[in-house]
Each structure stands twice: as structure tokens, then as C-alpha cells.
Structure 1
């Protein structure tokens, strides 16, 4: 006999790379957003933009719903252009009942895409946030612009948590050529975590909730769980990767040349395996790869239904599936 999701207080934390959520306005301060205008390379019309908002909002509304019976409490996003697209997103009919607000900072990414955090104001109460500027250099010793990491501190269902939303450097110039960049981002992220958790409380599973240092790292890492940036850069330092086991030959969060990857992951501090009164604890993780997000015919059947393939408009959701974790309260 299955247990009803209403038997526990449960909350979903999700991450979704939404594939170039741009508005239709050419922002002179953004270097490469002119492609996403009506007369730009992508022929990004008002109708296409509104269709994208509708689809992304529909996907978000269903992440974790089968497990909890409600919309996600917290959703990290990647590839959003600005605050306008976030305002438009949370005003979609599918998301209105969640009482979402968001946290967003403009980052130095040359494409003008950032990370952000949506949160249900009834469940998550932010107390502090900041963008973490990542310092990378190219071979000429010049600043190599990449997305900031978004750090948000707050209380999730009354439990103090530290959330980091990531979108690490891509593999566009080759896996080996860009590997060190992602390893360096992991190092800088860990440096910030160590500064906020000097006493290493993220390792401990028996602290009262007000003394704990529950940390959740979510994002598109452009690396798989077995790659150095994750396996060696973060996991040995008080973290577990409950999404790692979701990747196999037939499943992942994105597909490249008919090979599945799991670039989208959720890492949690060991403290989130606990039996402390009134504290959240980790229950399970999954990929939200529902059939509605998939291509349903042709040689790419089963892969994410993308908005674009190159310059060809397909009208789908995203080239990534969302991932999520369900937390219960003791």
C-alpha cells in the first residue's frame, strides 16, 4: 500500500536550464541578445516568446508534483536574460497559485544569460543573497567572463538553508580544453562555502536546526557526476550527490549526439540526512523527464523537445530536463 504524499510535510527543490529565455527587446547593454528579436537571427517574435513562457511555466508547475501534490518551493533557473522575463514567467496562469517571487542579478556573461532563483514566498523566506563573481583568465591572462553563482541564504519551511545556483563554463571549446575552468569554479565555490561554514557544520547530522549549516548546490555544471569538478572538487568536502545515480545509458538531463549526460545536478550537505526535530531532511531525487517534455517521433524520439536546434525553431520546452529533490520535515 503506497503512502499518500500528504502524510508528510514535503517540499521540492528543483533546477531547470530553460534554454535561452530572452525577451523580444534588444538591450544595448547586452552583447549578443539581438539574435533574440523579431528581425534577429532567431526570428524571436512576441508569439514565440509567449509560447516559451507558457511551456516553461507548465513544466515548472509539474516538477515534483506527483511526489508532493504541490508546485516546487524553490526553483533554480539557468539561461534567463533579465528580471523582465522572470516577472513574465511567474505571472503565467500555471504559476500564479504558487505565490512565486525571484532573486536575480545581472552577470558578466557575454551572451547576457544569468541564473536566478524562484521561490514560493509562503515556504521559503530569503534573508540574504549575493552574486559570487567567478574570476577566470584565458591563455592571454585576460578576464574570461562567465556566469556568476547566485548565493541565497534563507529558511525553507523554517529550516535554515544555504542555496547556490550555478551555471558553469561550457564545453564549447572541447571537454579537455575547458575542464580546468570548471575545476576552478568548483574551487572558488568551495572557498565561499568554507567561509560561511568555518566550523564544518555541513558534515554533522545531529545539530539543532538553528545551529546547522544545511547547504544545497544546484545547477548546470556542464560536467557529469563522475567528472573532476564534481567528484573531486566538491563531494569530498561534506557533500553528497543524490542525482548521480539517475544517469545511465538510457537517461540523463540532456542528450548530445545520442549520448545522455547529467550536467544538471543537485548536491546536498551531509547534514541533510538527519533525524533532528522540526528539521528538513532529504527524501529522494529525480529527473523530471515526463513525456510532455520529450520529442515524441523521429530519430530524436525521447530526447528533450528543444525550442531551437541551431537556427531552426522547434517550439519545444528546453534542451535540458529539470532535476529535483524532495525534502521532508521531521
Structure 2
């Protein structure tokens, strides 16, 4: 009798083991990221732009050496984002605080990124400081279909004059065969105070929402990412009331928006930039509901994160733990940016082992 019981238990264990082996799945992983490059300006004075006030142009010497080092530092960070799981740099990455296309050409041709063969999508914008947004993409992974720049018409509450700020970039394309849409943002700053400047970011959010709505009117199941330095936290009016972004995936309905960074901010106290001993999570990546579904036959959201490795932080002094920025007190620090990058991982189930980046689930 004991022998029979042991045989039954053994057969049951073998069955469970076989089932687990059958249920083990493999996934392809890609990274979508965003990074504020903190004043990535060249060393040439453009007479048509107000670039004289950029930190590098205010330096009296060694501009060329500083520019080369700044490019190399930015390339190092971008090359490392996503490598923990995807074993690759981002498939697509939105960037802001760049002066022109040429600085991006120099960036993607740095030895650390050259082998990734990044393409560039950039439009010259009307920002008074001559800073723009752009999208970089690995040509082997992402195929652009449409790209457009959308002007933000906002006005100062006191003077009623137009505020010339960054356009919003919209790019549609296929990521490894899946159609996705990406909005890259750099919303108006908090200059003059959060309350006084709030309406400008609300205006930016309204433009963003109109662009998302226009995509969803064509296809309610559109996979849309909106990313950027919003100069607002996930709990501010622009994000919560205008975009109506949700903290919990379960609360996101069709045509709704999910913000994985809200929980990091409200429950864990994480941030991407710091000021006067307070953290803000201005850099965010949000997405629409179809990216949250459980069917992994196409790319879906897996997890989000802040890329805040130790080398990106100040090690000592008054600003210990803050992002190790590039420029301070009128000089170059050999740092990186005053913002940490953010990223999300997308996964898709694969039928069998390939040479592409995969993870077991």
C-alpha cells in the first residue's frame, strides 16, 4: 500500500514538472526611454538663435573639450539604459534640451552608440532658449511611418504675450512589426513659481490630450506613449485632471492612460530631479490601455523604472544623492544631467529561441 502511495506521489510530481516546463515562456524585450540631456548645446554661436546664454557658450575656454566630454557622457548613459534586461540600449528614446540636429548627429556617432545605428527625428522649434525635443531610434528595430511637430500656443498670465516654448513631437512607426505612436514633450518650466506657471503646463497637457484623442478617433486600440520632462509631478493638475492618467492598471479603461510613475512618486518617494531638498518626478512615460492587456502576442508593458545608477548621482557635499549635473557655478562638472532618465520595458512572447534578446517568464 505504501509503495502504491509513493508511486502516485511520484507520478504527480512528474506531471507538475512537465506542466511547468510546458508553461515556461520566452519573451522578446525592448526598452522605450526618455532623457533630459541638460543643455546639450554646440560651441557655435547661431545668430538666428538665443544660444549665447547656454552654459557651454558662457564658458571662456575649453569649449570644444567640454562639448566632446558632454557628448561622451550622454552616450554612456543612453548606451546603458535598458541593459539590465533587454541587453541592449533603448529601441527608441525621446530626448529634450538639445539645441539642434547636429548635436544629435554627434551623439549617435559616439563610439558607444555608433554600432546601434540610431536614426534621428527632429524639428527646429520656436523655444526662446533654442532648445528642442527629438526622438532617437534604432533603425533595425523601429521603422518610422509618420512624424509631425505640433506648436503649443500659450500666453503669459500677466503680460498676455505669447510664450515661445517647445513643440510636441509625434512619431508613428512599427517597433519590430507592431504599430506604436510616441509623443515627446518638454512642457513649460515653473519659472515665476508653480502657481503662476501652472496654466502653461495645463495648456501643454490639453494639446497632448488632443493629439492622443485624434489618434484614438482613428483607432481606439492605438498603442500610444506620451513621454517627457513635464515640469509637473504625476499628481499635478496637468497629468491627473487633463490627461486623466491613472495610477492603477486596473482602473484604465479603453482610451484611458496609465502612469506607472505615479505609484513610484506617491508611495516610494522616488524622483528624477531634486531642488531644495525635495524630489520631483517630472520625467514620465505614460501609455494607453491596449499596452496593458495580457495577450503577449504583440508588445505589452512589463515594467517601468528610473535609471538612477550610482555613477549618475553626486557622491558628497550639499547635493549628495542629487543627479550629477553637467554644469554648475559657471563651469563644467564632468557630470551628466540634472535629471535621471526614465524607461519602460515592453515584452512580446516568442515561439522559440532566437538570437534576439529574450527573457524567461
Structure-2-length-normalised TM-score: 0.83
Q: Is the 8 A contact 1:81 1:114 kept in 2?
A: yes
Q: Provide Cα deviations, 1:251-285, integer angstroms capped at 9, x if missing partner.
A: 31001111111000000101101234631100000
2:242 pairs with 230, 233, 239, which one? 233
User: Secondary structure of the residue that 1:194 maps to in structure 2?
Assistant: helix
Count of residue correspondences: 314
Report the secondary structure of 1:222's partner residue.
Answer: coil
Alignment of 1:1-330 (within 5 A): 7-33=26-52, 35-36=54-55, 40-41=58-59, 45-138=63-156, 139-198=158-217, 201=220, 212-235=221-244, 238-247=256-265, 251-276=270-295, 278-330=297-349
Structure 1 gap ranges (5+):
1-5, 202-211
Q: When the two structures are superposed, what TM-score results if normalisation uses the length of structure 1?
A: 0.91
User: Distance between the aligned counterparts of 1:42 and 1:113, measured in 2?
Assistant: 21
Q: Per-residue displacement from partner, 1:282-328 (whole Å, max 9, x unpaired)? A: 00000000001111122211111011124243120000000000000
Give the 3-state SS of the residue equivalent to 1:176 in structure 2.
Answer: helix
Shift of 1:35: 4.1
- Whole-angstrom distance in 1 between the partners of 2:60 and 2:270: 29
Q: How far apart are residue 129 of structure 1 and its match?
A: 0.4
1:29 Cα deviation from its structure 2 partner: 1.1
Q: Distance in 1 between matches of 2:56 and 2:62?
A: 5
Note if contact 1:235-1:241 (Cα within 8 Å) is conserved in structure 2: no
What residue ranges of structure 2 are gaps of 5+ in the alignment?
A: 1-24, 246-254, 350-361
Partners of 2:269 and 2:217 lie apart in 1 by 41
Q: Residue 11 of structure 1: SS of its match in structure 2?
A: strand
Instruction: Give distance in 2, aligned partners of 1:285 and 1:65.
Output: 13
Question: Would you identify which runs of 4 or more consecutive aligned residues in structure 1 move more than 6 Å?
Answer: none
Deviation at 1:151, TM superposition (A): 0.5
Range moving further from structure 2, 151-160 or 139-148 = 139-148
Counterpart position of 1:3: none
Q: Which moved more, 1:294-303 or 1:317-326?
A: 294-303
- Aligned residues of 1:81 and 1:112 also touching (Cα < 8 A): yes
Which range moves more in the overlay, 119-128 or 190-199? 190-199
Offset from partner CA, 1:218-273 (integer Å, 9 cap, x none): 10000000000001111356100012222267531001111111000000101101
Q: CA deviation at 1:191?
A: 1.2
Cα separation, partners in 2 of 1:7 and 1:310, compared to 1, 3 Å: farther
